[in-house]
Structure 1
Amino acid sequence: MSTCPPQGSHGPEFLTVKEAAKLLRVNRKTLYEAIRLGQVPDIVRLGRVLRIRRSALVEWQPGNSGPALGENR
């Protein structure tokens, strides 16, 4: 019996960088750079593993909050 809440039709709550890049329609390397620059919200680090909360990406509006994805300020 699973203790995790069931995944809705929208998929898992946390995404890999590859999944998040696909959702955002950006290159995976571009997303890694934006994460490194602190531009991506709700990043969870578990050792070397990164996960990104899906709801934060869906609600995030990078064009309104600063430089373009992966761009320095």
Structure 2
Amino acid sequence: MNSCPPYSSLGGPDFLTVEEAAVLLRVNRKTLYEAIRLGQVPGVMRLGRVLRIRRSTLVEWQSGNSGPALGEKS
């Protein structure tokens, strides 16, 4: 049985932790948690108390994001 996480065609895991997503977006982890709380980040899945973010959705959103910067009020 394979114990490795599934990887996307983007060369990384399909789902990221908040810490991994913050590194990818080059933002502070606390800033990303606040943006998630405000519903500003797509592709977020909550599994109990654990948050995971779909990598492909995040990458697509990052390149086409025309809304306010993370952490800013709209």
Q: Which runs of 5+ in 2 are unaligned?
A: none
Runs of 4+ in 1 over 6 A off after TM superposition: none
Q: How many residues align?
A: 72
The residue that corresponds to 2:19 in the other structure is 18
- Contact 1:20 1:52 survives alignment (8 Å): yes
Unaligned runs of 5+ in 1: none
Q: CA deviation at 1:3?
A: 8.3
Task: Give the TM-score taking structure 2 as reference length.
Answer: 0.83
Q: Which residue of 2 aligns with 1:27?
A: 28
**What is the TM-score with the length of structure 1 in the denominator?**
0.84
Counterparts of residues 27-66 of structure 1 (less than 5 Å): 27-61=28-62, 63-64=65-66, 66=67
RMSD: 2.2
Query: Which one is further off, 2-11 or 12-21?
Result: 2-11
Question: Identity percentage over the alignment?
Answer: 75
